[in-house]
Structure 1
Amino acid sequence: MSDTDFEPWNDPNAEPLIHFQNVTKRFGDFTAIDDLTIDIYEKEFFALLGPSGCGKTTLMRMLAGFENPSEGNIFLAGQDIVPIPPNRRAVNMMFQSYALFPHLSIWDNIAFGLKRDKMSKDAVGERVEEMLRLTRLEQFARRKPHQISGGQRQRVALARSLAKAPKLLLLDEPLGALDKKLRIDTQFELMDIQESTGTTFVIVTHDQEEAMTVASRVAVMDHGRIVQASTPAEIYEAPNSVYVADFIGDVNIIEGYAEKSGDGFNLTWGESRPILKAETQNGFAGGNCALAIRPEKVSVTAEKPEDAANAIKGKVHDIAYLGNLSTYHVEIPGGQIIKAQTANTRRLSRRSFTWEDDVWLSWTATAGVLLAEL
Structure 2
Amino acid sequence: MAQSVFAPWADPNEKPLIQFRNVTKRFGDFTAIDDLTLDIFRREFFALLGPSGCGKTTLMRMLAGFEAPTEGTITLDGKDISPVPPHKREVNMMFQSYALFPHLTVYDNIAFGLKRSDMSRDEIAARVEQMLKMVQLQKFARRKPHQISGGQRQRVALARSLAKAPKLLLLDEPLGALDRKLREETQFELMDIQEKTGTTFVIVTHDQEEAMTVASRVAVMDHGKVIQVDTPDRIYETPNCVYVADFIGDVNLIEGNAYPAGDDRVSIEWAEGQPGIIATPAGAVEAGARITFAIRPEKVAICRDRPEDLPNAVRGRILDIAYLGNISTYHVALPSGHVIKAQTANDRRIARRSFTWEDEVWLGWTATAGVVLTQ
TM-score (norm 1): 0.98
> Equivalent residue for 1:73?
73
Q: In 1, distance between residues paired with 2:311 and 2:46?
A: 38
| Counterpart code for 1:162 | L
Q: How many Å separate the matches in 1 of 2:319 and 2:191?
A: 40
Q: Secondary structure at the match of 2:110?
A: helix
| CA deviations over 1:281-331 (Å, ceiling 9, x no partner) | 255555100000000000000111113110000000000001111100000
Q: Distance in 1 between matches of 2:135 and 2:3?
A: 21
Q: What is the CA deviation profile of residues 119-141 of structure 1, one whole-angstrom value per residue up to 9, with x for unaligned ones?
A: 21001001000000111111000
The 1:149–1:283 alpha-carbon spacing in structure 2 relative to 1, beyond 3 Å, is farther
AA aligned to 2:327 is L
SS of alignment partner, residue 98 of structure 1: coil
Q: 2:294 aligns with which of 276, 292, 309?
A: 292
Q: Cα 1:79–1:185, aligned 2, differ >3 Å: closer, same or farther?
A: same
Provide structure 2 residue ranges, at least 5 long, that are not aligned to the other structure: none
Match of 1:310 in 2: 312
Partner of residue 111, structure 1: 111
Structure 2 counterparts to residues 39-54 of structure 1, below 5 A: 39-54=39-54
Q: Which residue does the alignment assign to 2:174?
A: 174
Q: SS at 2:21's partner residue? A: strand
Ranges of 4+ aligned residues in structure 1 off by more than 4 Å: 282-286
CA positional deviation for 1:345:
1.2
Instruction: Name the CA shift for 1:313/1:4 in 2 (closer, same or farther; >3 Å).
Output: farther
What's the secondary structure of 1:361's corresponding residue?
strand
The answer to whether the 8 A contact 2:258-2:285 is kept is no
3-state SS of paired residue (1:101): coil
1:280 positional shift: 2.7
1:236-255 map, 5 Å: 236-255=236-255
SS at 1:250 equivalent? coil
| Alpha-carbon distance in 1 for matches of 2:260, 2:116 | 66
- Tell me, in whole angstroms, the C-alpha distance in 1 between the residues paired with 2:163 and 2:284: 46
Please give the TM-score of this superposition, normalised by the length of structure 2: 0.98
Report the CA distance between 1:4 and its aligned residue. 5.3
* In structure 2, C-alpha distance between the alignment counterparts of 1:225 and 1:9, rounded to whole Å: 20
- Distance in 2, Cα, partners of 1:164 & 1:146: 24
Check whether the contact 1:284–1:370 (CA below 8 A) recurs between aligned residues: no
Matches of 1:363 and 1:52 in 2, distance apart?
35
Counterpart contact for 2:255–2:291, Cα < 8 Å? yes
Tell me, yes or no, if the aligned pair for 2:58 and 2:67 is still in contact at 8 Å: yes
Q: Distance in 1 between matches of 2:61 and 2:3?
A: 29
What's 2:328 paired with? Answer: 326
Distance 1:6 1:118 in 2: 35
**Amino acid in the other structure paired with 2:280:** E
Aligned residue identity for 1:293:
I
Cα distance change on mapping 1:161 and 1:284 into 2, 3 Å:
farther
Q: 2:338 aligns with which of 332, 336, 339?
A: 336
| Structure 1 unaligned blocks of 5 or more | none
Structure 1 residue matching 2:161: 3-state secondary structure: helix
How many angstroms does 1:118 deviate by? 3.2
* Higher mean C-alpha deviation, range 20-29 or range 3-12: 3-12
2:135 corresponding residue in structure 1: 135
CA distance, structure 1, for counterparts of residue 192 and residue 199 of structure 2: 11
Note the C-alpha offset of 1:260.
Answer: 1.9
Q: Secondary structure at the match of 1:291?
A: strand
1:244-290: CA deviations, max 9, x gaps?
00000000001001112212111001211111100132555551000
2:351 corresponds to: 349
Q: What do you get for the CA RMSD once the two structures are aligned?
A: 1.1
Separation in structure 1 between the aligned mates of residue 281 and residue 349 of structure 2, nearest angstrom: 37
Aligned to 1:156: 156
Looking at structure 1, the residues matched to 176 and 95 of structure 2 have their Cα atoms a distance apart, in angstroms, of 10
Aligned residue for 1:35, secondary structure, equals strand
Cα distance in 2 for partners of 1:3, 1:96 equals: 34
**Structure 2 CA distance for aligned equivalents of residues 261 and 270 of structure 1:** 17
Task: Report which stretch shifted further, 335-344 or 50-59.
Answer: 335-344
Which deviates more, 198-207 or 300-309? 300-309
Change (3 A) 1:55 1:282: farther
| Residue 269 (structure 1) aligned with residue 270 (structure 2) | yes
Deviates further, 50-59 or 303-312: 303-312
When residues 76 and 342 of structure 1 are mapped into structure 2, their CA distance, relative to the original with a 3 A threshold, is same
Q: Is the 8 A contact 1:236 1:248 kept in 2?
A: yes
CA deviation profile, 1:178-212 (whole Å, cap 9, x unmatched):
00000000000000000000000000000000000
Q: Which moved more, 1:167-176 or 1:332-341?
A: 332-341
The one-letter code sitting in structure 2 at the alignment partner of 1:206 is H
